[in-house]
């Protein structure tokens, strides 16, 4: 949840698994990473001799990416995983960055994220909603690219005054999705609020937002069809009350 982040304070190594991520997301990836600071490394991994990665080649020059070649010595295995992991550890020991952005929906990177965080690295992830929950929860925060793209396309449609049937956007919660059901998010939020109430019966929203993100690193209202800030998202629900005193925002359960 964006309220927590120190915008612009990170030196970032952006590492993209091209064999797992579509190039259609690259602009979103760069924009999202830029929110956290300066992107020192922009590396994208894959076997560039294969036609499957041809759509990525135009994006490499456009967005200043460095392609890293890894031949697939064994069929059926995403060999670029190993190269990305080795590079990440090499970058770690240069001491030139304090943050990593791992872009993949592959759970094989879970151990890498855990290892980087052991060295006090800030690690945020990006991938599709099919990303296994183990990888999502290992990151400080995780962005679902397919939901972000859908939200952008919806905004574009509104600007173009595209006719709709008036129905609200819904989330396709299939079994392969790691997006947490909204009912569980609401339930956990209520518990977090109750555990952090001040004497006057209200809780600091800044604290609640941080604790909720730690619980659900992949949470964002766009996952549920509303591309708004988390506070506004919960404020619209009948379950919560919000108030503001000077510059401090408070929340409590109704």
> What stretches of the chain adopt beta strand conformation (E)?
10-17, 37-46, 66-69, 99-103, 122-127, 141-144, 203-204, 240-245, 248-253
The residue-averaged pLDDT of 172-179 equals 65
CA distance linking residue 249 with residue 237, whole number of Å: 17
CA distance linking residue 88 with residue 94, whole number of Å: 10
Quick one: CA torsion of 56, 59, 63, 66, rounded to 10 degrees?
40
The residue-averaged pLDDT of 183-191 equals 92
Largest CA distance in the chain: 64
Establish how many alpha carbons lie within 13 A of residue 75's alpha carbon, considering only the half-sphere containing its beta carbon: 0
Tell me where in the chain the CATH 3.40.50.1010 domain(s) lie: 2-152
Domain topology for 2-152: Rossmann fold (3.40.50)
Task: Kindly tell me if the per-residue pLDDT of 135 is higher than 70.
Answer: yes
pLDDT, tens digit, 9 for 90 and up, residues 143-159: 999 999 998 888 777 76
pLDDT, tens digit, 9 for 90 and up, residues 86-111: 999 999 999 999 999 999 999 999 99
pLDDT, tens digit, 9 for 90 and up, residues 203-236: 999 999 989 988 888 899 989 989 899 999 999 9
Handedness of CA 161, 164, 166, 172 (dihedral sign): negative
Q: What confidence tier does 251 reach under pLDDT thresholds 50, 70, 90? A: very high
CA distance linking residue 88 with residue 245, whole number of Å: 44
User: For the chain, what percent of residues have pLDDT higher than 90?
Assistant: 66
- pLDDT for the residue numbered 164: 47
- pLDDT for the residue numbered 231: 94
Nearest residue to 250 via CA among 209, 196, 202, 181: 202
The residue-averaged pLDDT of 181-188 equals 91
CA distance linking residue 211 with residue 236, whole number of Å: 20
- pLDDT for the residue numbered 146: 94
Rama region for 8: left / alpha / beta (φ>0; ψ in -120 to 50; rest): left
pLDDT, tens digit, 9 for 90 and up, residues 156-169: 777 675 454 555 54
Tell me where in the chain the CATH 3.30.420.610 domain(s) lie: 182-253
- SS3 breakdown of the chain: % helix, strand, coil, rounded to 5? 45, 20, 35
Considering the entire predicted model, what is its pTM? Answer: 0.76
Domain topology for 182-253: Nucleotidyltransferase; domain 5 (3.30.420)
Rama region for 246: left / alpha / beta (φ>0; ψ in -120 to 50; rest): left
């Amino acid at each position: 949840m964006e309220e927590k982040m120190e915008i612009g304070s990170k030196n970032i190594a952006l590492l993209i698994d091209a064999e797992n991520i579509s190039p259609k997301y690259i602009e979103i990836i760069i924009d999202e990473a830029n929110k956290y600071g300066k992107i020192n490394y922009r590396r994208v991994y894959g076997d560039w001799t294969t036609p499957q990665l041809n759509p990525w080649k135009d994006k490499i020059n456009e967005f200043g990416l460095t392609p890293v070649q890894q031949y697939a010595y064994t069929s059926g295995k995403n060999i670029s995983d190993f190269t990305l992991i080795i590079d990440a550890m090499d970058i770690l020991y240069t001491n030139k960055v304090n943050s990593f952005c791992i872009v993949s929906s592959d759970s094989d990177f879970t151990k890498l994220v855990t290892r980087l965080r052991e060295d006090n690295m800030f690690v945020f992830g990006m991938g599709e909603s099919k990303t296994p929950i183990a990888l999502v929860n290992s990151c400080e925060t995780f962005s679902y690219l397919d939901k972000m793209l859908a939200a952008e396309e919806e905004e574009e449609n509104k600007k173009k005054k595209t006719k709709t049937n008036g129905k609200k956007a819904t989330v396709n919660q299939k079994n392969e999705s790691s997006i947490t059901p909204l009912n569980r998010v609401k339930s956990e939020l209520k518990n977090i609020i109750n555990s952090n109430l001040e004497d006057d019966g209200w809780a600091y929203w800044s604290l609640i937002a941080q604790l909720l993100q730690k619980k659900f690193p992949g949470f964002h209202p766009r996952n549920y069809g509303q591309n708004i800030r988390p506070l506004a998202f919960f404020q619209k629900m009948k379950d919560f009350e919000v108030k503001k005193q000077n510059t401090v925002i408070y929340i409590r359960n109704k």
